[in-house]
Amino acid sequence: MSYTAELIAVGTELLLGNIANTDAQMLSRGLSELGINVFYHTVVGDNPQRLQAAVDLAKTRADIIITTGGLGPTCDDLTKNVLAQCFGRKLVYDETSAKRIERYFQQLHTKRPMTANNYQQAMLPEGCTIFSNDWGTAPGCAFEAEGVHVIMLPGPPRECAAMFQHRAVPYLKRFSDGEICSRTLRVFGLGESSVEDQLRDRMNTLTNPTLAPYAKEGEVELRITAKAHTHAEAQALIAPVEAEVRDLLGDAVYGADVDSLEAVVLELLREKQFTLGCAESCTGGLIAKRFTDLPGASAVFRGGIVSYTNTVKEGLLKVPQALLEEYGAVSAQVAEAMAQGARQALGCDLAVATTGVAGPDSDDRGNPVGLVFVALSTSEGTQVKRLESPAGGRPRIRNTAASHAFQLLLHYLQRV
| pLDDT at residue 113, rounded to an integer | 76
| pLDDT at residue 75, rounded to an integer | 75
| pLDDT at residue 37, rounded to an integer | 85
pLDDT at 80 over 70: yes
Asked if the peptide bond before residue 360 counts as cis, ω within 30 degrees of 0, the response is yes
Query: pTM to 2 decimals?
Result: 0.75
Top mean-pLDDT range of 166-175, 225-234, 372-381 = 372-381
Burial class (CB in 10 A: 0-12, 13-18, 19+), 350: buried
| pLDDT at residue 347, rounded to an integer | 98
Angle CA(209)–CA(213)–CA(215) in degrees, nearest 5? 160
pLDDT at 114 over 90: no
Binning pLDDT at 50, 70 and 90, where does residue 14 land?
very high
Enumerate the H helices of 282-331 as residue ranges: 286-292, 310-315, 321-327
Identify residue 298 by its one-letter amino acid code. Answer: S
Identify which has the larger pLDDT, 127 or 29: 127
pLDDT at 250 over 80: yes
Give the residue-averaged pLDDT of 159-178: 88
Q: What is the DSSP string of 71-92?
A: -SSSTT--HHHHHHHHTT--EE
Express each pLDDT in 279-318 by its tens digit. Answer: 999 999 999 999 999 999 999 999 999 999 999 999 999 9
Give the residue-averaged pLDDT of 204-230: 88
Give the residue-averaged pLDDT of 356-378: 95
Q: Helix or strand or coil: residue 60?
A: coil
Identify which has the larger pLDDT, 116 or 337: 337
Q: Which H or E element spans position 404?
A: helix 393-415
DSSP state of 239: H
Express each pLDDT in 171-215 by its tens digit. Answer: 998 776 677 888 999 999 988 888 989 999 999 999 999 998 888
Give the residue-averaged pLDDT of 23-50: 91
Q: Do residues 50 and 44 touch, judged by C-beta distance below 8 A?
A: yes
Q: Which H or E element spans position 355?
A: strand 350-356
Binning pLDDT at 50, 70 and 90, where does residue 32 land?
confident
Say how many C-beta atoms besides its own lie within 10 A of residue 22's C-beta. Answer: 12
Q: Do residues 160 and 154 touch, judged by C-beta distance below 8 A?
A: yes
Binning pLDDT at 50, 70 and 90, where does residue 34 land?
confident
| pLDDT at residue 398, rounded to an integer | 96
Nearest residue to 265 via CA among 411, 416, 387: 411
Give the residue-averaged pLDDT of 137-159: 95
| pLDDT at residue 271, rounded to an integer | 97
Nearest residue to 253 via CA among 211, 215, 221: 221
Half-sphere exposure of residue 227, counting CA atoms within 13 Å on the CB side? 15
Nearest residue to 398 via CA among 262, 275, 286: 286
| pLDDT at residue 117, rounded to an integer | 86
Q: Do residues 61 and 6 touch, judged by C-beta distance below 8 A?
A: yes
Binning pLDDT at 50, 70 and 90, where does residue 1 land?
low
Burial class (CB in 10 A: 0-12, 13-18, 19+), 10: buried
